[in-house]
Chain A
Amino acid sequence: MDKNIKVLLVDDEEEFVKTLSERIQMRDLGSNIAYNGEQALKVVKDEVPDVMILDLKMPGIDGMEVLKRVKKAYPQVQVIMLTGHGSEKDEKEARKLGAFDYLQKPADIDTIVGTIRKAYKKRIEKPLMAATFAEAGDFDSAKDIMDRDD
Chain B
Amino acid sequence: MSVFDKLKPLFWDHEDAAAGHYKRLFDFRGIWYQAVVFTAVVVLLPLIFITLADYSVTRKSAESEILLRTSRFVSNTRRTVSFFLEERRFALVFIVRDNSYEEISGAVRLGAILDNLRKGLGGFSDLGVIDASGRQHTYVGPHNLEGKDYSGQEWFKQVIEQGYYVSDVFMGYRRIPHLVIAVKHELDDGSFYVLRASVDLERFKRLLSQLEVMGGGGAVITNRKGVLQTPCEPCGRDALEKIPFPVPEYSTHTQVFEEEVGGKTMVVGYAYLLDTPFILMAIKDKDALMQPWYGTRRQIIGFLGLSVTLVLVVVIGMATYLVNKIYTADRRRVMALHEVEYSNKMASIGRMAAGVAHEINNPLQIIYEKAGLIKDYFTYKPEYKEDPRLLVLVDAVISSVERCGAITKRVLSFARHGEAMLQPVRIERLLEEVLGFVNKEAEYRSITVTLEVDEDVPEFDTDRGKLQQIFLNLINNAFSFLKESGSLTVAAKRKNSDWVAVSFADTGPGIPAKNLERVFEPFFTTRSSKGGTGLGLSITYNLVQELGGKIVAESELGEGSTFTVTLPLKPGKKGGPNPS
CB of A19 within 8 A of CB of B362, answer: no
A15 is an interface residue with CB less than 8 A from chain B: yes
Q: Could you mark each residue 58-97 of chain A with 1 if its beta carbon is under 8 Å from any beta carbon of chain B, else 0?
A: 0000000000000000000000000011011100000000
Chain B residues numbered 356-382 whose CB sits less than 8 Å from any CB in chain A: 358, 361-362, 364-366, 368-370, 372-373, 376, 380
B515 is an interface residue with CB less than 8 A from chain A: no
CB of A13 within 8 A of CB of B362, answer: yes
A137 is an interface residue with CB less than 8 A from chain B: no
With contact pairs A104-B409, A106-B401, A106-B405 given, residues A23 and B373 touching in the complex (Cβ less than 8 Å): yes
CB of B416 within 8 A of CB of A23, answer: no
CB of A22 within 8 A of CB of B402, answer: no
Chain A residues numbered 93-130 whose CB sits less than 8 Å from any CB in chain B: 104-106, 108-109
Bound state CA distance, A27 and B447, in angstroms? 43
A20 is an interface residue with CB less than 8 A from chain B: yes
Residues of A within 8 A of B423 (CB): 88-89
Return A18 CB to nearest CB of chain B, in Å. 9
Residues of A within 8 A of B368 (CB): 106
Residues of A within 8 A of B370 (CB): 15, 19
CB of B380 within 8 A of CB of A26, answer: yes
CB of B405 within 8 A of CB of A85, answer: no
Chain B residues numbered 403-452 whose CB sits less than 8 Å from any CB in chain A: 405, 409, 412, 416, 423
Bound state CA distance, A88 and B421, in angstroms? 13
Return A101 CB to nearest CB of chain B, in Å. 17
Residues of A within 8 A of B362 (CB): 13, 16, 84
Chain B residues numbered 304-361 whose CB sits less than 8 Å from any CB in chain A: 358, 361
Bound state CA distance, A15 and B370, in angstroms? 8
With contact pairs A19-B370, A23-B372 given, residues A106 and B380 touching in the complex (Cβ less than 8 Å): no
Residues of B within 8 A of A20 (CB): 369
CB of A16 within 8 A of CB of B358, answer: no
Return A126 CB to nearest CB of chain B, in Å. 31
Q: How many A-B residue pairs have CB under 8 A?
A: 54
CB of B412 within 8 A of CB of A106, answer: no
CB of A26 within 8 A of CB of B376, answer: yes
Interface size class of B (residues with CB under 8 A): 20 to 34
CB of B365 within 8 A of CB of A106, answer: yes
Residues of A within 8 A of B358 (CB): 84-85
CB of B416 within 8 A of CB of A106, answer: no
Bound state CA distance, A23 and B366, in angstroms? 13
CB of A19 within 8 A of CB of B372, answer: yes
CB of B376 within 8 A of CB of A105, answer: no
CB of B412 within 8 A of CB of A19, answer: no
Residues of A within 8 A of B402 (CB): 106, 108
CB of A105 within 8 A of CB of B405, answer: yes
Residue of B whose beta carbon sits closest to that of A87: B416
Residues of A within 8 A of B416 (CB): 85, 87
From B364, B373, B401, B405, contact of A22 by CB (8 A): B373
CB of B361 within 8 A of CB of A105, answer: yes
Return A112 CB to nearest CB of chain B, in Å. 10
Return A13 CB to nearest CB of chain B, in Å. 6
Return B344 CB to nearest CB of chain A, in Å. 23
Return B501 CB to nearest CB of chain A, in Å. 24
Residues of B within 8 A of A19 (CB): 366, 369-370, 372-373
Bound state CA distance, A22 and B364, in angstroms? 18
Residue of A whose beta carbon sits closest to that of B404: A106
With contact pairs A16-B366, A19-B366 given, residues A109 and B361 touching in the complex (Cβ less than 8 Å): no
User: Interface residues, chain B, CB within 8 Å of chain A?
Assistant: 358, 361-362, 364-366, 368-370, 372-373, 376, 380, 401-402, 405, 409, 412, 416, 423
Given contacts A16-B366, A85-B416, 11 further A-B contacts (CB under 8 A): A13-B365, A16-B362, A19-B369, A19-B370, A19-B373, A22-B376, A84-B412, A88-B423, A106-B368, A106-B401, A108-B402
Q: Which 3 pairs between the two chains have the least Cβ-Cβ distance?
A: A19-B369, A106-B405, A84-B361
What are some 6 contacts across the A-B interface (CB < 8 A)?
A15-B369, A23-B369, A84-B412, A88-B423, A105-B361, A106-B364
